[in-house]
Chains A and B, each alone.
Chain A
Amino acid sequence: MASLDEPGEVREGFLCPLCLKDLQSFYQLQSHYEEEHSGEDRDVRGQIKSLMQKAKKAKNKLLKREGDDRADSGAQGYESFSYGGVDPYMWEPQELGAVRSHLSDFKKHRAARIDHYVVEVNKLIIRLEKLTAFDRMNTESAKIRAIEKSVVPWVNDQDVPFCPDCGNKFSIRNRRHHCRLCGSIMCKKCMELISLPFANKLTSASKDSLSTHTSPSQSPNSVHGSRRGSISSISSVSSVLDEKDDDRIRCCTHCKDTLLKREQQIDEKEHTPTIVRLYEKLRLCMEKVDQKAPEYIKMAASLNAGETTYSLEHASDLRLEVQKVYELIDALSKKILTLGLNQDPPPHPNTLRLQRMIRCSATLFVQEKLLGLMSLPTKEQFEELKKKRKQDLERKRTMERQAALESQRRLEERQSGLVSRATNGEVAPLRRGPGPLRKAEGWLPLSGGQGQSEDPDPLLQQIHNITSFIRQAKAAGRADEVRTLQENLRQLQDEYDQQQTEKAIELSRRQAEEEELQREQLQMLREREWERERVWAAPLHSRTRSLDFQREPGRGLRTHLAHALDLGPSPAQSGTAPKTPSPSPAQAWSGPPALGQEGPPQSTVSQPPLNPFEEEDRPSPPGEGAVSPAAAEAAPLPKEYNPFEEEEEEEPEAGNPFTGPDGLAPNPFEEEEARPCLRPASPPAPGNPFEEPAGTNPFEVDSDSGPEVEERIEEELLLQQIDNIKAYIFDAKQCGRLDEVEVLTENLRELKCTLAKQKGGPD
């Protein structure tokens, strides 16, 4: 249930298109919209409607992912689950159904019965106490008899002609015997005997003093043994009228039964089986985990986000502690599992089942809770993360400001009718794009493996890093890794070269800007380029994006162009706008060398990630006209940060989440300086060679962080991994999944290998 509307869940992407408030669900968004913006433009409503439709479609996907998240977090995993087939919101919260208790009735009836029973037992115990209070061994039998008779009045012999238990007639041979506890009569066969230790145990227990003798398991045996012994002795001295039972007290079966039951109760009170003790410990550990794990997860999440609320040392201590508890749980449950397996009479199958179940639940517990523990960043990573976070925050701030202005401007535009309505509908849904992505990206815990040094040029630093990786990989003898790394290196170097060229271009362009005439020529050139671009881009893009998509920016640009031409004095600046959405004309415009370097096909491939940006860009041309030359200067600058950015990403992929926020970033240039260099999230370099290997080569991920992290991974973590894998192997073996076992074993071997290497290897 409830999972749909859990307030804590971050539901990405339900941003209000008007105020950009991030709302948790689209129901909330709807209501938010109705409250806040109901008076506003009609178009917006159409816009939000289409957003709703998209959101609905997206919801399915989201929900699916949410499910995964839930499984990951585990903590609240198993209790809350959406009810199959029914939308939970359709059913109001349901209270517990009707119940009726019969306990008071039950207790009333039981009390009456119990009183009777307890009185009886207590009476017997008191009598037993009296009978054993004196020293039986050294007292005459006559005297004993007198005392016995004084404890309980004996039933008259004449009243009982037959044994009440077996019905045999009493005679000279079949003599009457009196129960010393209740005074009743029975024959010898039906007579029971109570040994003194047994009596002592009962009486002392009732006095609540700890008995000094007999382990519980012994006493019943001793009673039986003595009885058997007494029978044989009786037969040997059968002639004696009243055999003297020095250390035994005669009683009837009924009294004996009651006493035995009583004894059992006492035993249970004293005795706790091993399994209970172990189990209690196990539960204690689990409680500890329940307590500590969320605390740790909170810490780790915060640390991984680069926050400084908690100290890293504290967190790693906690992690160690939690891991210890986990090991303890594992050990305890294993112990429970094997409890009593080697005993001579094998335990009852149910006992074994119980033990198995406890082990099973412990394993489940461990799987759900402890494997979800995320790792902590190392010190260096942490520093890096802190830095990133700072940047991120700043970027976000500018972005928000930007977005606010943006929406305002968009409204104005709409009024002025510059932008056609048809295109408007598209804005909102796509506007969402960056939203979810930005959150999804969320600075992955592993990110930022490198880049800690203060190398002036990130690219150079990258190159430096990769060279060192290659060295390491070679040392580790991983040919394929080396290969990939080398390829990366080559690309990096290419990129660096290109960057240098771009810098040169930039320089020359600045010069160009100084000259009005030149600028006008440039404008012409750009226009021509645009025409060309439209002609070839459309068919090319039809594969990746819908056609009209491509057309829209074009149209937008045309109007924008006209606008820019009207503005006259600074038409070239508006060139920044087309430059970003469609790289190739931009390249052509900024200089032939660039065009030569980044062929058109390449730039088209990288086009899709740019789309959000396009959307951003399109509605805002008027503002652009007023942009100072500084913006134009700024544009290429962030570009050189791109490769670095891509590198830093742990999981660069074709639809890189990171490029999402990037789409927003360009906007700032349009209006102000805003430290473009500090803004790492600049538009992805159109022809960035990195993007391609990133998308196609998963190995890139490793080469980024892999070797280096490898160095830094704590041994302890490795060991833990090995343990985990071992557990899985065991698990898989039990389930009989051989292929899994195989894979796992291989992994294990590799892990061990790494461990050995790390221990032995230098550095």
Chain B
Amino acid sequence: MNVVFAVKQYVSKMIEDSGPGMKVLLMDKETTGIVSMVYTQSEILQKEVYLFERIDSQNREIMKHLKAICFLRPTKENVDYLIQELRRPKYSIYFIYFSNVISKSDVKSLAEADEQEVVAEVQEFYGDYIAVNPHLFSLNILGCCQGRNWDPAQLSRTTQGLTALLLSLKKCPMIRYQLSSEAAKRLAECVKQVITKEYELFEFRRTEVPPLLLILDRCDDAITPLLNQWTYQAMVHELLGINNNRIDLSRVPGISKDLREVVLSAENDEFYANNMYLNFAEIGSNIKNLMEDFQKKKPKEQQKLESIADMKAFVENYPQFKKMSGTVSKHVTVVGELSRLVSERNLLEVSEVEQELACQNDHSSALQNVKRLLQNPKVTEFDAARLVMLYALHYERHSSNSLPGLIVDLRNKGVSEKYRKLVSAVVEYGGKRVRGSDLFSPKDAVAITKQFLKGLKGVENVYTQHQPFLHETLDHLIKGKLKENLYPYLGPSTLRDRPQDIIVFVIGGATYEEALTVYTLNRTTPGVRIVLGGTTVHNTKR
């Protein structure tokens, strides 16, 4: 259940199948993203793939000495482009792979266009999702719902992505969904429909305990994406934004040209892989170590090389050194920018209050803190709006709710209309009325004791008190205690044993904080493998 590896295997297989020779990879907009998440350019160069083209680009030259590997989503436009391409082939031979189920009629029209017999392969390889981390995938869909209901186009895309994921992992799951969300139910039904329709595809070796697909809706936990994060990956995403592993640093003051856009990929960046789930303080010390490591290597390089032996060592280490210097400068820049933003936006203080809003039930002190921060000129309007949103979500029904007052404060602070509207929108989206389960107050005696104990122990880290709601849901699920009246099964059969392979899908997007939760759960609960997915990966801006 490693989604990165699953997609990577697909791509490798494609390239292998086409045999030796120069190759061009013909993709569409989405598959370009999918491939770029799992393969780096240098890696793919080693496999003789030298060109990357978009199927819709018009100025492609005829290069009959190249083999074309087409990896496309089976959309109408792509099929049309492909038909045109085959009528006047630009490359010597075509290996066509669709990322999802393609209709028979499309295959037929393609076949009829291939008069010159240039097509050597037509297959479905189900790599139809963005593999972010080994246990996290995304579909990069923004705004999947209109109000409470699905946008039909996005529903079908989500269904495709989810079924492709199941196929690529060879899982034919039982499905549970969140009862309170209509969207979750619709999606569950759609996935079930595809499984029934393509039953031949879904015939895998049966495992003892069938895998489980749990479909959730973001509106059940609107808090998590609103919080400031302090682990590396999440923080980078929150403050700088990660888009298909790419980070845009062009807004950073005084950035050098080659660092405008950097790639953070755990696949080939050891430092990132080791640190993506560590918190900001740890990153700081690790980056210091990295620097020291680098410095240790560096002086040797920068010094005059005194002898042949030195020189030889230098030459042999040079590529490594260069690679390291790239990594070092990248991470130093990113972390530097993060800490600049943190201090500029006063995020430590903001985050403390955010965590208090999310985790504690002390209304008066919360209100006081929010008010205090709203007066602080360093707090950006964005963060201010966020605080008010959190307040609104938590104390929606509180007797002395003073949300209107806060909104007035926001206006006084000069927060733009757009952000002020967001507050009410968020309440409507994730307010109590909508939530199926209670987010803030503990539900049963056990939970109450737990929280009490936690209170006694004191909080180790004020900035990471908040546990995403998903943690509890999954915890219950793993222990077999998840209530069926809240998360019913689709269809008659239910799971007797504790689940082993779990795929969680969050309509409306997952967060990196939840990814961290899943990562920890994967590590701490042996025998259980969880993959998290969402229509997108959130930060507060999205």
B residues 302-342 touching A (CB-CB < 8 Å):
302, 304-312, 314-316, 318-320, 322-323
B: which residues have CB within 8 A of A? 1-2, 4-6, 9-10, 13, 20, 22, 42-43, 45-46, 48, 50-51, 53, 59-61, 63-66, 92, 101-102, 104, 107-108, 110-112, 114-117, 119, 121-127, 133-135, 167-170, 201, 204, 258, 265-270, 272-274, 276-277, 301-302, 304-312, 314-316, 318-320, 322-323, 519, 522-523, 529
* B323 CB contacts on chain A under 8 angstroms: 71
The answer to whether the Cβ of A90 comes within 8 Å of any Cβ in the partner chain is yes
Could you list 20 A-B pairs, sorted by A, with CB under 8 Å? A64-B270, A72-B320, A83-B134, A85-B134, A86-B135, A97-B127, A99-B125, A99-B126, A110-B117, A273-B65, A279-B22, A348-B61, A350-B51, A350-B63, A354-B51, A361-B45, A375-B312, A699-B306, A710-B308, A750-B304
CB atoms of B133 and A747 under 8 A apart:
no
CB atoms of A705 and B5 under 8 A apart:
no
Per-position binary interface string of chain A over residues 455-483, scored 1 when its CB falls under 8 Å from any chain B CB and 0 otherwise: 00000000000000000000000100100
A539 CB → nearest B CB, Å: 30
A361 to B315, CA, bound (A): 19
A residues 724-753 touching B (CB-CB < 8 Å):
724-725, 728, 735-736, 739-740, 743, 746-747, 750-751
With beta carbons under 8 angstroms apart, the residue of B124, B201, B322 that contacts A102 is: B124
Known A1-B5, A84-B134, A114-B117: A102·B122 in contact at CB below 8 Å: yes
CB atoms of B277 and A101 under 8 A apart:
no
* A351 CB contacts on chain B under 8 angstroms: 61, 63
Q: Is the interface of A mostly helix, strand, loop or mixed?
A: helix
With beta carbons under 8 angstroms apart, the residue of B4, B9, B529 that contacts A83 is: B4
A282 CB → nearest B CB, Å: 10
The answer to whether the Cβ of A42 comes within 8 Å of any Cβ in the partner chain is no
B215 CB → nearest A CB, Å: 21
Known A84-B134, A743-B302: A750·B309 in contact at CB below 8 Å: no
B334 CB → nearest A CB, Å: 16
The answer to whether the Cβ of A214 comes within 8 Å of any Cβ in the partner chain is no
Of A71, A106, A279, A713, most buried by chain B (CB within 10 Å of CB) is A106
CB atoms of B522 and A360 under 8 A apart:
no
CB atoms of B201 and A98 under 8 A apart:
yes
A453 to B214, CA, bound (A): 76
Besides A72-B320, A113-B111, A364-B42, 4 more A-B contacts (Cβ < 8 Å) are A84-B274, A90-B529, A702-B307, A710-B308
Known A84-B272, A85-B133, A367-B319: A357·B50 in contact at CB below 8 Å: yes
* A98 CB contacts on chain B under 8 angstroms: 126, 167-168, 170, 201, 204
CB atoms of B267 and A81 under 8 A apart:
yes
CB atoms of B305 and A97 under 8 A apart:
no
Closest B residue to A364 by beta carbon equals: B42
* B134 CB contacts on chain A under 8 angstroms: 83-86, 91
CB atoms of B320 and A85 under 8 A apart:
no
With beta carbons under 8 angstroms apart, the residue of A110, A365, A367, A718 that contacts B112 is: A110
CB atoms of A113 and B112 under 8 A apart:
yes
* A478 CB contacts on chain B under 8 angstroms: 306
With beta carbons under 8 angstroms apart, the residue of B45, B121, B272 that contacts A364 is: B45
A residues 55-108 touching B (CB-CB < 8 Å):
64, 67-68, 71-72, 78, 81-87, 90-91, 94-103, 105-108
Closest B residue to A111 by beta carbon equals: B111
Known A747-B305, A747-B314: A84·B266 in contact at CB below 8 Å: yes
* B48 CB contacts on chain A under 8 angstroms: 283, 361
Closest B residue to A751 by beta carbon equals: B311
Closest A residue to B119 by beta carbon equals: A106
Closest B residue to A701 by beta carbon equals: B309
CB atoms of A268 and B309 under 8 A apart:
no
A373 CB → nearest B CB, Å: 9
Closest B residue to A713 by beta carbon equals: B308
Closest B residue to A706 by beta carbon equals: B307
* A724 CB contacts on chain B under 8 angstroms: 315
CB atoms of A100 and B123 under 8 A apart:
yes
* A268 CB contacts on chain B under 8 angstroms: 64, 92
B137 CB → nearest A CB, Å: 13
CB atoms of A357 and B311 under 8 A apart:
no
* A255 CB contacts on chain B under 8 angstroms: none
A279 to B66, CA, bound (A): 11
* A261 CB contacts on chain B under 8 angstroms: 116
A-B CB proximity, top 9 nearest: A84-B266, A84-B273, A97-B168, A109-B111, A361-B45, A348-B61, A357-B50, A706-B307, A110-B111
CB atoms of B277 and A107 under 8 A apart:
no
CB atoms of A109 and B123 under 8 A apart:
no
With beta carbons under 8 angstroms apart, the residue of A100, A705, A754 that contacts B124 is: A100
A96 to B2, CA, bound (A): 11
The answer to whether the Cβ of A721 comes within 8 Å of any Cβ in the partner chain is yes
* A90 CB contacts on chain B under 8 angstroms: 522-523, 529
With beta carbons under 8 angstroms apart, the residue of B4, B135, B277, B311 that contacts A721 is: B311
B322 CB → nearest A CB, Å: 8
The answer to whether the Cβ of A411 comes within 8 Å of any Cβ in the partner chain is no
Of A86, A98, A713, most buried by chain B (CB within 10 Å of CB) is A98
A67 to B270, CA, bound (A): 9
Closest A residue to B97 by beta carbon equals: A99
With beta carbons under 8 angstroms apart, the residue of B127, B273, B322 that contacts A82 is: B273
CB atoms of A109 and B107 under 8 A apart:
yes
Of B9, B102, B269, B310, most buried by chain A (CB within 10 Å of CB) is B310
B498 CB → nearest A CB, Å: 17
Closest A residue to B117 by beta carbon equals: A114
A100 to B1, CA, bound (A): 20
Of B122, B258, B277, most buried by chain A (CB within 10 Å of CB) is B122
With beta carbons under 8 angstroms apart, the residue of A354, A360, A754 that contacts B22 is: A354
A364 to B47, CA, bound (A): 12
With beta carbons under 8 angstroms apart, the residue of A72, A100, A357 that contacts B45 is: A357
CB atoms of B302 and A83 under 8 A apart:
no
* A418 CB contacts on chain B under 8 angstroms: none
CB atoms of A265 and B51 under 8 A apart:
no
* A67 CB contacts on chain B under 8 angstroms: 270
* B315 CB contacts on chain A under 8 angstroms: 371, 721, 724-725, 728
